[in-house]
Amino acid sequence: MPELHLISAAPFSLAQISQVLRGNMSLALSQDAEQRITHCFEYLQQRLERSQAPVYGINTGFGSLCNTIIGHDSLEELQRNLMMSHACGTGDEVPAEVVKIMLLLKVQSLAYGHSGVQLATVNRLISFYNREIFPVVYQQGSLGASGDLAPLAHLCLPLLGLGEVRFQDFKLKGHEILDIFSWDPIQLQAKEGLALLNGTQFMNAYGVLLCLRARQIAAAADVLAALSLEAFDGKADPFQPHIHQVRPHNGQRQSAATILHLLAGSELQQQHKQHVQDPYSFRCVPQVHGASLDALAYVQQVITTEMNSVTDNPNIFPEDDLILSGGNFHGQPLALALDFFSIALAEWGSISERRTYQLISGQRGLPHFLVSNPGLNSGLMIPQYTAASIVSQTKQLCSPASVDSIVSSNGQEDHVSMGANAATKAYKVLENVERVLAIELMTAAQAMEFRRPARTSPALERVLEAYRTQVPVLEKDRVLHDDIQLSVQFIRKFPFQEIIA
């Protein structure tokens, strides 16, 4: 049986969510979470029984229709209509790894007991997660303000037997997946549709995945910078701690210490250097990589706070006999953080491409384009073109989404975050940076062949040895697309974090 993670009100960290995902752990509600959910649901039902006062989204219309009162007999139909009418997503499907995190985060948010949902509804979401039933969700449609309405509508439609899911390599209709497991459709009660659709779980799921994968990128970037420095016959002086003690940004100090650690025991560093300085793309690695590390730390704080938040509306506080309509669904904190994160990620790629360019330029005893008999062979000329193209596209993707806002719902929703667009753009930036780093890896490893028989440090030799089991030395021209793809997989899977530890 898979290990179990109990959903509760206890603080949930990125390290824990990584453990849940990597360990393929199943979910279950803690006893406390079940009590919170049940207590809030029962309070809401009793409140509706004793009072006919309008409460937004519970017995009123939605958005600019908030002043339209809905009769008690129509409350279930109101929530079902809400779910169907808001399923207006389009574009590419959201990757399954993101949908899985969306399910987890939606359950976590509902489990705090401020949303008024049935226990059965939350348990059905948990069943979807545990059985790897991933609703088909689309990337486009959310303004990132009234929550991620369209994506979350598609996430939750299968609860009603609507929409579509991915299950065991099949794409099924919502009613088909219910039939397979002999499940009845969820009969939505007052507020439930709104609780499911309001929320930032689309944006935040992307943010969680970005944070987890960025740790690998950060480690890989430092390792590759050290390897490229060695291949370029660069100097270790810029990484000495004295320099960084007088400008003590945390990320800068961390990156410099990592590079020094990676260079320890290198024969190449013992050789006399003819040059006085290295280009910025080598010499300023701590300052550039370090700034991105500091940005990552900030984004992790925002994402973690959001993971531990209630982001639907209205919020229900049974102990205080309060139902309050506010704006916790507004994605501005995430939108700003994700835009910032795109820029930070992009800089790891931008400086990487410059190191690639320096290595193929025929300097410091290296042949042009790092191949024997250049001219007859083009060697690694064109992978740098590819890297430059990707970096250029990445710069375009870094134009911030959060500075935009378009009025919707007849002016009721007059400022939106566009955080969903920030999230999907950041995901593309991350994938682009992985590819650029892969090209640097391919280039630095090839350049190291022209430094033999001298050896770099034991840590970096371990990286090279592992890489060469996947991608052979380039002796003469061959189709390099395959090398790049294999290098991308290496960037994603090799334990760089162990190398720098």
pLDDT tens, position by position, 342-358: 999 999 999 999 999 99
Q: Output the pLDDT for position 409.
A: 83
The answer to whether 191 and 116 are in contact (CB under 8 A) is: yes
Cα 417 to Cα 143: distance, rounded to the nearest angstrom: 6
The answer to whether 339 and 402 are in contact (CB under 8 A) is: yes
Instruction: State what percent of residues in the chain have pLDDT above 70.
Output: 99
What percent of the residues of the chain are helix, what percent strand, and what percent coil, each to the nearest 5? 60, 5, 35
> First vs last Cα of the chain: how many Å apart?
32
Q: How confident is the model at residue 60 (pLDDT cuts 50, 70, 90)?
A: confident
Q: Output the pLDDT for position 501.
A: 87
Cα 483 to Cα 473: distance, rounded to the nearest angstrom: 10
Q: Is the pLDDT of residue 51 over 80?
A: no
Cα 131 to Cα 168: distance, rounded to the nearest angstrom: 9
Q: Which segments of the chain belong to CATH 1.10.275.10?
A: 4-199
What is the DSSP code string of 164-194?
EEEETTEEEEHHHHHHHTTPPPP---TTHHH
Strand partners, 90: 140
**pLDDT-wise least confident of 73-77, 370-374, 465-469:** 73-77
Q: Output the pLDDT for position 472.
A: 97
Q: How confident is the model at residue 147 (pLDDT cuts 50, 70, 90)?
A: confident
Tell me which CATH code domain 4-199 carries: 1.10.275.10
Q: Please give the C-alpha separations between residue 415 and each of 143, 330, 411, in angstroms, as whole numbers.
A: 9, 9, 9
For residue 237, the Cα-to-chain-centroid distance in whole angstroms is: 35
Q: Is the pLDDT of residue 484 over 70?
A: yes
Tell me which CATH code domain 206-500 carries: 1.20.200.10
What are the tens digits of pLDDT across the range 294-338?
999 999 999 999 999 999 999 999 999 999 999 999 999 999 999
Sequence letter at residue 217: I
Q: Which segments of the chain belong to CATH 1.20.200.10?
A: 206-500
Residue 227 or 410, more confident: 227
Q: Output the pLDDT for position 137.
A: 98
Q: Output the pLDDT for position 1.
A: 66
Place of tokens 């973690």: 304
What is the DSSP code string of 311-329?
-SSSEEEGGGTEEE---TT
Structure tokens at 54: 């309008």
Active site residues: 56
Cα 61 to Cα 68: distance, rounded to the nearest angstrom: 5
What are the tens digits of pLDDT across the range 107-141?
999 999 999 999 999 999 999 999 999 999 999 99
> 349: helix, coil or strand?
helix
The candidate with the shortest Cα–Cα distance to 136, out of 178, 165, 175, 104, is: 165
Q: Is the pLDDT of residue 68 over 90?
A: no
Q: Is the pLDDT of residue 282 over 90?
A: yes
CA 434-435-438 angle, 5° bins: 90
Instruction: State what percent of residues in the chain have pLDDT above 90.
Output: 89
Beta carbons within 8 Å of 462's beta carbon, 6+ residues apart = 499
Q: Is the pLDDT of residue 67 over 90?
A: no
Model's pTM, two decimal places? Answer: 0.95
Instruction: Give yes or no for a cis peptide into 54 (omega within 30° of 0).
Output: no
Q: Is the pLDDT of residue 452 over 80?
A: yes
Q: Output the pLDDT for position 154.
A: 98
How confident is the prediction for the chain on average, in pLDDT? 95
Q: Output the pLDDT for position 217.
A: 98
